Homo-oligomer: A and B are copies of this chain.
Amino acid sequence: MFDTNSERVPGRAILPDVVLDGMVAILGDRFSTSVAVCEQHGHDESYHATLPPDGVAFVRSTEEVAAVVRLCAAHRVPMIPFGAGTSLEGGVAALRGGIAIDLTGMNQVVRFSAEDLDITVQAGVTRKQLNDHIRNDGLFFPIDPGADATLGGMASTRASGTNAVRYGTMRENVLGLTVVLADGRVIHTGGRARKSAAGYDLTRLLVGSEGTLGIITEVTLRLHGLPEAISAAVCPFDDIRGAVDTVIATIQMGVPVARIELLDALTIKAVNAYSKLDHAEVPTLFFEFHGTEAGVVEQAGIVETLAVENGGRGFLWATRPEDRTRLWQARHDAYYASIALRPGCRGWPTDICVPISRLADCIVETHGDLAGSRLMAPLVGHVGDGNFHLTFVVDPADPQDLAEADRLNRRLVARALAMGGTCTGEHGIGSGKIAFLEAEHGEAVDVMRAIKRALDPDDLLNPGKVFRR
């Protein structure tokens, strides 16, 4: 039996021979214990410490995943599903060693029905690959975390992004899953019907479970028609409260805006430098409108009026597709731009979400905290949902940096919870926010634990994440 309590030497395989031999029997040279490969699978894109697995299984089918899981389960080896590695709360670190199951080789489209606006893809397909596949049929998939994440990873972390205010998150856009359970059984959840009242909603239980209840190998997704017309605009504001009040009014009026993103002055400065742009370095909203030609004009007119009433300096339009692409690429690169503000440092990203009526207070109070801090922390937000992020730019080797980020993060989360919000809108719990889950959900966390024990009694699937047992 694999001893999960033994002292681990990072990067050095301490897997028993029966497991090593078994993995090679299943995968041949697609199983690796090389130090470099293990290191690369031991961290995400955040400041969290690298904790490499003891081996990496590069799988190509649900059957291979099931065989790997059966072998690991038999020998009590922890398993960590791995996609693009772009998570932000330490979700892939091998806290107790074990084997990373890399699903990026499962990158095939299984089935596509343009007329039903749905598709089934293997878990390793990325969001950009997906959109390339369906664009010629006039369709798109709206969920867009900044990185080019895999659909399996996006489902596992309940990802969202800039379009969620209009199109929802992975919660609303995953119709069904193929999942390998902790004992190697394969189940199919949900289905292709747009709605169903048939039994427990296992799909949504698994979406956001961060690999702790099963390993997602296929995802059936709801697609959306490319809108007839798209327009995008940028609106700078003299102060951040005016920008946020514009957002609140837009949401309360029910304008079906597709994207409404806030970048604070520091983020604009970072983005200008990183993406070679020349936005005014003041709080700024980025908008996108989807609809018919007439509908887009109507929506934009309403929102521009609201912006001007709240101190906006007027809309700057990005009408050509290449200008829009440049605009949103800069927005998606905001995380990397933020980190680049302080060369050699890494990002400690955090995100919270509050009811929209509290958003302005939450942001203004948070800026107050930051004004007195030694750390830079650019703020960006999917503000139409009441969701925003800070990226503390830290030197991971400097304990004072880490302590200060931790202090600010605790204050931010406490503020969000006091306002009726959540400790994470879209990044997930991973290992980074475990302390906050209980504060937010109280005794309900015991119910989560009971479900975990029922489905993974030996705690082998991504152990140590989401909550402590």
Are the CB atoms of A448 and B185 closer together than 8 Å?
no
Which of these binds chain B: A32-40, A352-360, A401-409?
A: A352-360
A25 at the interface (CB under 8 A from B): no
- Give the residue name and chain of the B residue nearest to A290 (CB): B254
Are the CB atoms of A197 and B425 closer together than 8 Å?
yes
Chain B residues within 8 Å of A397, by CB:
none
Are the CB atoms of A201 and B204 closer together than 8 Å?
yes
Q: How far is the CA of A292 from the CA of B286 in the complex (A)?
A: 23
A354 vs chain B, min Cβ distance (A): 6
A74 at the interface (CB under 8 A from B): no
Chain B residues within 8 Å of A169, by CB:
195
Are the CB atoms of B441 and A171 closer together than 8 Å?
no
Q: How far is the CA of A420 from the CA of B256 in the complex (A)?
A: 31
Chain B residues within 8 Å of A213, by CB:
200
Are the CB atoms of A198 and B454 closer together than 8 Å?
no
Contact of A422 among B181, B193, B454 (CB under 8 A): B193
A345 at the interface (CB under 8 A from B): no
Q: How far is the CA of A450 from the CA of B443 in the complex (A)?
A: 20
Chain A 439-469: CB-based contact to B (< 8 A → 1; otherwise 0): 0111111111011011100000000001100
Which of these binds chain B: A109-117, A233-241, A321-329?
A: A109-117
A305 vs chain B, min Cβ distance (A): 14
A218 at the interface (CB under 8 A from B): no
A252 at the interface (CB under 8 A from B): yes
A119 vs chain B, min Cβ distance (A): 12
A446 vs chain B, min Cβ distance (A): 8
A164 at the interface (CB under 8 A from B): yes
Chain B residues within 8 Å of A252, by CB:
115, 117, 225
Which of these binds chain B: A276-284, A308-316, A426-434?
A: A426-434
Chain B residues within 8 Å of A171, by CB:
195, 201, 204
Question: Which of the listed residues A193, A298, A355, A446 has the most CB atoms from chain B within 10 Å of its own CB?
Answer: A193
Are the CB atoms of B447 and A355 closer together than 8 Å?
no
- Taking CB atoms and an 8 Å cut-off, the chain A residues in 280-337 that contact chain B are 292, 294-295, 298
- Give the residue name and chain of the B residue nearest to A452 (CB): B200
Question: Which of the listed residues A200, A209, A442 has the most CB atoms from chain B within 10 Å of its own CB?
Answer: A200
Contact of A202 among B116, B294, B353, B444 (CB under 8 A): B444
A232 at the interface (CB under 8 A from B): no
Q: How far is the CA of A423 from the CA of B197 in the complex (A)?
A: 8
Contact of A386 among B193, B357, B420 (CB under 8 A): B193
Are the CB atoms of B441 and A355 closer together than 8 Å?
no
Contact of A444 among B172, B189, B446 (CB under 8 A): B189
Chain B residues within 8 Å of A446, by CB:
185, 187
A443 vs chain B, min Cβ distance (A): 5
A66 vs chain B, min Cβ distance (A): 12
A29 vs chain B, min Cβ distance (A): 32
A205 at the interface (CB under 8 A from B): yes
A241 vs chain B, min Cβ distance (A): 16
Chain A 184-210: CB-based contact to B (< 8 A → 1; otherwise 0): 011111011111111111101101110
Chain B residues within 8 Å of A256, by CB:
256
Task: Offer 14 A-B interface pairs, CB within 8 angstroms, sorted by A.
Answer: A116-B355, A117-B356, A118-B355, A189-B441, A192-B421, A195-B387, A198-B436, A198-B440, A199-B441, A200-B208, A224-B254, A294-B295, A295-B295, A451-B451
